[in-house]
Structure 1
Amino acid sequence: MKKLALLATALAMVSGSALAADLRVKAVKAPPPPAFDPWDIAFGSSITNDYVFRGITQSNHKPSVSAYFEPRYNVTKDVQLYAGLAGASISFPNRAAAEIDIYGGIRPTFGAFAFDFGVWGYLYPGGTCHYGAAVDTAGQPLSAECATNALVNGNVIKKNLSFFEGYAKVNYTVNDMFQFGANEYYTPSFLGSGAWGNYASITGKFTAPSSTFGSSGLGMYVSGEFGRQWLGTSDSFYGTGFTNPGFAGPFPNGINYADYNTWNIGVGFTYKVFTLDIRYSDTDLSKGDCNAFTSDFAARGNITAASGTSITAINPTGVGSNWCGAAGIVKLSADLTAMTSLK
């Protein structure tokens, strides 16, 4: 009997151990992986004291607000398709008060290299032609609107300045702190002027370690960009007809705009979805060449060769613009994505 009791006890222990083992296997069984959702949406808004684009103010050195909406589709974890709609307040010579952007492209990633290829359209609704004559310098007839309206400083500007660019960008991430990039943009008609435009730049960014501000959640970075804008010759609309003594004379076939360098450097602070960016921007364009390029409605100067301080080969009037000069930019923005920020 004693042997039978011991045997029964042993069998019970083995059976219990097997049951316990079986229960443990069932307890740690992994749940099925969640279904991959390739869709995401990025959106945000910003306010700045000066909207500067490639070193040139788009808001007459006044405040500007902007917003964007960007649906994204992740083909794989390394390939993303996207399209976007954005808008910003501006102050243009043709009195357009808004910029509407429509864009789209593809962002493939290969290891530490992140690429971006796409097309960007810039639309400027609500513009008015300002010329002050019935024909341009090539003798081409202009609309009644162009003939009726004129800027006080003698600059001329088209009603429609909309244009598009194709672009290619690459960003290389060295580590959690350092990133470097290169950008290339091309358009056959910059700001609808008829002059082709090619912009290339290099960028750099240093992101402070997450421990810099302890557990506050505050982040910081320092970034900068150096770029060069090449420009072709405008159409005859922008040729100048001034023939006063000492001036360079008319340009019936258009103005060969001056190429220029631009650069910016700044520091930014991040907290959750918010970024405060403080930046210095400048170009090497003279006030005269800046005026010829921008048709700045606020440009001032004298039209006599003796007193004009901004006379250049393509700006014979002596009117000078400060739209391309040094600028301090403060920008507060919020950027979110539906898949992460809103969860």
Structure 2
Amino acid sequence: MRRVWQFLGLLIVLGAVGVALALLAARNWLSEPVVMGVDTFMLQPGDNLYSVSRRLPAIDGEITRRIWIAHARLSGATNIKQGEYELPPLISPAELLQLFNDGKVKQRTFTWVEGITASQALAVLRAQPYLAEAQPALTVESLRAELQLDYPSAEGWLFPDTYHYSRDASPWELIRQSYQRMQSALDAEWEGRAAGLPYNSPYEALVMASIIEKETGAPEERAEIAGVFVRRLQKGMRLQTDPTVIYGLGEEYQGNIRRKHLRQPTPYNTYVIKGLPPTPIALPGRDSIHAALHPAAGETLFFVAKGDGTHQFSVTLQEHEAAVRAYQLKRAENYRSSPAQ
């Protein structure tokens, strides 16, 4: 009987050692980085731990699947979230499980740069991979309808920036996010605006901001250009700015503004109409919105492009015409600077 108990004791010790070794092996397997064999992995709707484990190349056996699932249940990491995940070259099974629980899905990006039109912005969005199908289709007309805009156009209402999205994201959700950002930026700048500006509404400020955005690529000039336009409006002068003419020409514009274009009556030809055009002409950035509502003080009423991305500003028409001769007429006989008189 004594030998029996000794034998049973030995079996218990050996069993305990075996269990300890098995647990140690499982622990090592869970924490040891392995090659996943794939760059991305998709958790589909309805996936569970078992179905996921069967599709993971690094979990290639029933034992390892059971270890992985047991670890998930014991650690409370069973709430895996659907989506597309980007996998590093090496990752441990435990880290992989945590990744699926954190829901840090693969992010893609696109950028709307300042100064593009709504139509161009939608073209950029349509070109992005792995977005859900847009319903309705992404057009300027549907943009105005979907955002329920009480304005003549949806132009100017998308905020230019870099946006992040996950696989199968809704294009319209990204658009609404951008629209809300533009609303917030415009409202904030409007609340802190300078006194005495010739705008009747935030929308008119948005129109002005879009013109400023198209007129200069030099950040330091935005407030000065805004000052010129504000003073011209206050004095009842036409804005006479080329970007509005170009916008009004649409597809007719082929890269050069000619004198006939400056006389062509369109709602956007600020050489013909007085005041602001009826809608924005592009997507203005926050800095241009700020400039429109915080114009630089001064007396300048004219400016002309120097050809290096900056402008020469003038107080009088005589000074401006001299600047035009110096900077523009040498390079383009048929060119008319904006604004003129």
Report the TM-score when normalising by structure 2. 0.25
- The structure number with the bigger radius of gyration is 2
Greater per-residue strand proportion: 1
Higher helix share: 2
TM-score with structure 1 length normalisation? 0.25
